[in-house]
């Protein structure tokens, strides 16, 4: 997959078949659209291309927007690479780009820069200044400039929207199994291991304190989860507590992962944490001894979970 950090960077002598969107999460609904894009590219001897943006457009267009994302740009790139598209164009979405009239967008971007032969797009897609243009306009521009427009059905688009909403809600509610089913992979985040208060060591459960890469990344419901951690090509089994650690009077969000059968210096290293299953909600215990007993039960649950996978 070739990656271009702007429309201006893109260069290809071949005609392209493109789709446009944020594709946050690259979930099963998105994967279906990308599969259609790739298959038609092969059949028509075109290059497949996804035009996406460096930030979610709502962040620029809506002043009070607090967009929470399933994937960071780096994560999205890796997922898209696995899908097998030929070209990924990541355009900076700012007020200047948002002000581009619809016809100018079609002529200057789709035709002159991206060499478009065909566009696969949702029936409800809006583009151009103030989102004035829709699918009917795009079809007319296609006739004028010589490219074809294929609509993704209302049913497929609704499925994508429903999936995205359900995934976000499921993660926020701790229903990680449902989220993973809609995603088609385990929900994950990445982050660097930073020094914490090292309380886990004092009670026999040393943890890696993960600083999540992006503040816009959706944080799962506070509680304990079965996880795996990836670093340097190795995969480690473990369990994670995400929350404020009320038993020790914690106040700030903390993400602590206890890896099983693991004793390495991991400070400063980056881990990808895959969330497999929800264990329990975060709870304030009356004593450290009660906390230790519960963590032991959490570990037993997690180890049993891994046993079911083997």
pLDDT per position as a tens digit, 173-190: 999 999 999 999 999 999
**DSSP 8-state symbol, 169:** H
pLDDT for residue 222 is more than 90: yes
The pLDDT of residue 202: 60
pLDDT band at 65 (very low <50, low <70, confident <90, very high): low
* SS3 state at 289: helix
pLDDT tens readout for residues 189-213: 999 999 766 665 666 688 899 998 8
pTM for this prediction:
0.90
Q: How far apart are CA 65 and CA 42, in angstroms?
A: 39
DSSP string, 30-95: HHHHHHHHHHHHHHHT-EEEEEEESS-HHHHH-TT----BSS-HHHHHHHHHHHT-SEEEEE---H
Q: How far apart are CA 122 and CA 157, in angstroms?
A: 6
Give Cα 168 to chain centroid, integer Å. Answer: 10
* CA nearest neighbour of 248 among 291, 299, 206, 279: 291
pLDDT for residue 50 is more than 80: yes
Burial class from Cβ neighbours inside 10 Å (0-12, 13-18, 19+) for residue 55 reads middle
The residues pairing with 191 across neighbouring beta strands, listed in sequence order, are 212, 271
The residue-averaged pLDDT of 62-85 equals 88
Phi, psi of 243 (to 5 degrees): 160, -150
Burial class from Cβ neighbours inside 10 Å (0-12, 13-18, 19+) for residue 171 reads buried
Q: How far apart are CA 259 and CA 210, in angstroms?
A: 12
Range with the largest mean pLDDT of 125-129, 186-190, 266-270: 186-190
Q: How far apart are CA 30 and CA 226, in angstroms?
A: 27
**DSSP 8-state symbol, 217:** B
Phi, psi of 15 (to 5 degrees): -70, 150
Phi, psi of 228 (to 5 degrees): -125, 150
* CA nearest neighbour of 59 among 102, 98, 90, 16: 98
- 242 and 191 Cβ atoms separated by less than 8 Å: no
3-state helix, strand, coil in the chain (%, to 5): 40, 25, 35
């Amino acid at each position: 997959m070739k990656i271009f950090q702007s429309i201006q960077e893109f260069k290809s002598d071949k005609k392209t078949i493109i789709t446009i969107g944020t594709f946050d999460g690259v979930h099963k609904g998105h994967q279906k659209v990308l599969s259609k894009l790739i298959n038609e590219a092969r059949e028509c001897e075109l290059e497949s291309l996804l035009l996406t943006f460096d930030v979610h457009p709502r962040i620029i267009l809506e002043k009070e927007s607090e967009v929470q994302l399933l994937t960071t740009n780096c994560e999205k790139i890796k997922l898209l690479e696995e899908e097998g598209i030929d070209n990924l164009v990541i355009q900076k979405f700012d007020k200047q780009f948002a002000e581009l009239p619809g016809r100018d967008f079609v002529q200057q971007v789709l035709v002159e820069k991206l060499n478009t032969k065909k566009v696969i797009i949702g029936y409800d897609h809006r583009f151009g200044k103030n989102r004035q243009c829709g699918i009917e306009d795009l079809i007319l521009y296609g006739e004028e400039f010589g490219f074809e427009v294929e609509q993704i059905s209302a049913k497929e688009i609704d499925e994508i929207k429903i999936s995205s909403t359900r995934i976000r809600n499921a993660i926020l509610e701790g229903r990680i199994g449902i989220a993973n089913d809609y995603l088609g992979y385990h929900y994950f985040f990445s982050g660097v291991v930073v020094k914490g208060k090292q309380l886990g060591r004092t009670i026999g459960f040393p943890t890696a304190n993960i600083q999540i890469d992006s503040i816009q990344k959706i944080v799962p419901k506070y509680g304990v989860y079965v996880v795996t951690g990836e670093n340097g090509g190795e995969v480690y089994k473990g369990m994670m507590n995400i929350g404020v650690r009320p038993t020790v009077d914690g106040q700030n969000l903390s993400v602590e992962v206890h890896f099983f059968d693991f004793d390495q210096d991991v400070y400063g290293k980056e881990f990808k944490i895959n969330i497999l299953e929800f264990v329990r909600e975060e709870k304030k215990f009356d004593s450290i001894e009660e906390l230790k007993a519960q963590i032991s039960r959490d570990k037993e649950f997690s180890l049993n979970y891994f046993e079911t996978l083997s």
